Each structure stands twice: as structure tokens, then as C-alpha cells.
A and B are shown apart, each in its own frame.
Chain A
Amino acid sequence: MTRTFRIAALAALAVASVAAAQDAPPSPEEQAVRARQSHMSLYAFNLGKLGAMAQGNVEYDGAAATTAAQNLSHMTQLDQVGYWLPGTSNAEFDDSEALPAIWENMDDFSAKHEALEQAVTNLQAGAGTDLATLQASLGEVGKACGACHQDYREADE
């Protein structure tokens, strides 16, 4: 009896600790990584609307283009202070691609973000004008994204 009880108690304990592990809130560092990745997904979602028009996969729609560009503009204005916590590079998080170089060159990293803000401001101004203006200004946004990814994101598959 005692033995059965012990086993049952151990099993209960094991279940409880698994449950506890599942319920443990993610660390601030992990939350920061997830928030950054979500931010990037939202960029991609809105860039996709514009890119589909720029690449001729869907018909150009000035109003829809302006809306997507505005979304991007709002996103570049969000405060990102909580995103770039120390200890959240790809050295600490296997599924992050943020290189430690970000924290070693924070001024340059910020300058590259300012370049993105400027490119998105121009995109917002030109997205509704015509297809050619959209294509040109979206190309500049792509370059701003690429300039940062070039130095600060891990190569991946």
C-alpha cells in the first residue's frame, strides 16, 4: 500500500511539475524575441500587399497601397526599447537570427532604422501616386531592410 501510494504521489508530483513548467511565463528576454519576430511578420504581411502590386501579381490599387504603406509607417514609429534586451541575440536564443553585432554597434543599428523610417515615409507619400512610384519607393524600402539584414541578421536557409 505504502509503495503504491509513493508511486502515485511521485506520479502526481511529476504531472504537477510538468504543468508548472507549461504555466511558467516566458522570460522578458523570450517575450522580446517573440515580439520582434511578430513585428517582422507584420512588416512582411504589409510589404506583401505592396509587393504583389509592384511585381504585377495583382492589379495596382492606389488606396490599398496607401493603407499598407501607412501600416508600415505606424510600425516604424512603435517604440522598440523593450525589443533589444541584452542577452537576446542568436547566441542565447537558438531560433533568433539577431546577431550580437547589434549590441556592439547600437548607434549604427539605430541609424539603419532611421533610414528605414525615411524610406517608409517616402513610400507612404508615393504609394498612391501610381505604380511606377510605388515600385521605385518600395525598392528603396527593400534596400533599407537589406542594409540592416546585411550586417545584423544571421544567414539562414
Chain B
Amino acid sequence: MRTALASLGALALLGAGAAWWVTAPDPISAAELSGISGDATRGEILFAAAGCASCHVAPDTPAADAPVLSGGQRFVTQFGTFVAPNISPSPQGVGNWTDADLINAVMRGVSPEGQHYYPAFPWNAYNKADVQDIADLVAYLRTLPPSAAESLPHEIPFPFNIRRSVGGWKLLFEDRDFVVQGDLTPEQTRGRYLVEALGHCGECHTPRNALGGLRRASWLAGAPDPAGDGHNPNITPAGLKWTEAQIVAMLQSGFTPEFDVVGGEMAEVVANTSQLSDEDRRAMAAYLKIVTPVDSPAPKPGTGDSSAEEAG
């Protein structure tokens, strides 16, 4: 009996140990980062393509030439409220971080102290980016104005407030492979990079499972808006019937083919995509045309989630 209990205890310990080990952060090694140095000039457009300012500027900041990344925007989700931190180059922000710290934050979702970041920060898209691009982005970020604002804590209830549990989430849902595979033209490949990695379009346009993992089988097929303001549209070819030229025009100006103007978070996205080259916008459109067509998941009744709504 005693032996049995002891072996059971040992097994439990072993299990806990294994769980602890597999949920440990997995940063990019110093060796992989050696010899990489960022180019701030190149980083400016990558910063726009990655949409960093959309979430990290202070709430209600009008678009400015040099964004102040002081944080403070609140993101209400079913798991709690996330508050964007200060990522400006200041002591309260990321001014004291090394390039490796910043690259690992963006591409692995790991803090300099080895803590997991919640997936509200789209590292599960940025993990598909080129290390050199993120190094350039980081170099540009260091040229932006500093802010002395203190980062505010997230408001996340138990059990999601256990950071280590994000390690389990990563085990289940982190995916560093592109969703769309196969033989792609150089333009489609560029578009895939902009949409899946930097643009992190899937974060809002792909439905999630009960634990917040992206349902990659329904990639870009539309999803309820996390803040509860309606539904983010299906942008697979089954939902988005626009021509490539019409997609390009919307990414450039915000005007849809019906000459409505996109709103919500998409207005902030257009503030970023309008800075890209026409070539890059065309690449995004070319990519969206080869995404697997998926019918939208049925909207929940009574959510005002209709596909035929008029503005007003």
C-alpha cells in the first residue's frame, strides 16, 4: 500500500514536472539572433504593416506622424479585459530592453523575464515573420517619442490570470506555419506574409474556439467582434466577392465598392494599409483570392448580426 501511494505520488510529481517543463517559454536563441541588426528606415513601413500603433497608442489618439506608444487601450474579451502596455522607448516602456528581448516578445510571446504574454498580443501571427523584418521594426520603434506613462495591469480573473497556463495554450494553439500552403506565385507569397504574419488579419477575421484558439479550418471566414459590436466579415472568396482592384482600393482609401467607408477597427487597419505600397496592397488582394472559400459560421440569433444591414 505504502509503495503504491509512493509511486502514485512520484508519478504525480513527474506529471507536474512535465507540465511545468512543456509550458516553459521557448525563446529564439542568441545564436539565431547573432549578426542581425535592425534598419530603422526599413522598419517604418514594417511597423505600419504590423499595425503596432493601432493598439499601443493612448486611447482616442488621433493619427499622428510619430505615434506615442504609451498604451492604455482596453480590450474587453470573454476572458477578461486586456490593457495595452507602454511600448515606447522609455524606462516605463521598452527603453531598457535589448533587441533580443523585443524580438522574442514579438515573435515568441515571451517577456524579458521569461513570462508568457497573453495571445491578445498577436505573437501567434508575428511568429511567421522574418527575424530581420522584426529587427528592423524594433529599430524603428526605438526612434519614436518616449512616454513616461506606467503600464496598467490586465484585469483577468482566475484561472486565466495564471500566466503559466498560457504555456499550455501555446502548446495547443501556437502555430508557426502559414495556413495557406502549396505553390504560390511571388505575389501571393508576399500577400500571405502581409495578411497572415504582419497584418495579423486572422486575429479578428477567423473564428475562435472556446479557449480562444484560432479555428484554422475556418481561416478568415468571419467571427463575432470580440468587443461585442457586431461581426467581423468573412473575407474568404465565399464571403468577399470584390475584385482584386476593389480590395486594393479599400485597403488604400477605406471606400468599399458601394462607397461605404469601413469603420470599427478596420478604420485603424486602413490607416496602416494606406501607408503600404500599391504593390503590397495588390499582393494582399491576390492572396485573399486563393484562400480556401469557407461559408461563414452561422451568426447567433438576436445579435443584430445580419449580413444585409444598411449603414445608419
Contact = CB atoms under 8 A, between A and B. Distances in A.
Contact of A155 (B231, B296, B306, B312): B231
A3 B201 CA distance: 66
Given A37-B312, A95-B310, A148 B263 contact: yes
A26 to B, nearest CB: 14
Q: Label chain B's interface by main secondary structure.
A: loop
Contact of A95 (B233, B234, B254, B306): B306
Given A97-B311, A98-B312, A146-B263, A156 B231 contact: yes
25 contacts: A41-B311, A51-B253, A54-B253, A90-B230, A90-B304, A95-B306, A95-B310, A96-B312, A97-B310, A97-B312, A98-B312, A142-B253, A143-B254, A146-B254, A146-B270, A148-B263, A149-B261, A150-B265, A150-B267, A153-B263, A155-B230, A155-B263, A156-B309, A157-B231, A157-B296
A123 to B, nearest CB: 13
A94 B299 CA distance: 14
B129 interface: no
B222 A157 contact: yes
Interface in A129-157: 138-139, 142-143, 145-157
Interface in B216-268: 222, 225, 229-234, 239, 245, 249, 253-255, 258-268
B307 interface: yes
Contacts of B245: 55
A95 to B, nearest CB: 6
Among A55, A94, A149, A155, the one with the most B-chain Cβ atoms within 10 Å of its Cβ is A155
A48 interface: yes
Contacts of B270: 146
Contacts of A37: 310-312
A125 interface: no
Given A44-B258, A99-B229, A157-B239, A149 B267 contact: yes
Interface residues of A, number: 39
Q: Label chain A's interface by main secondary structure.
A: helix
A150 B262 CA distance: 8
Contact of B259 (A44, A94, A143): A44
B264 A157 contact: no
A157 B233 contact: yes
Among B232, B233, B305, B309, the one with the most A-chain Cβ atoms within 10 Å of its Cβ is B309
Contacts of A97: 230, 309-312
A104 B268 CA distance: 22
A150 B310 CA distance: 16
Contact of B263 (A45, A54, A149): A149
Contacts of A138: 253
Interface in A41-75: 41, 43-45, 47-48, 51, 54-55
Contacts of B265: 150, 155
A146 B250 CA distance: 11
A33 B304 CA distance: 15
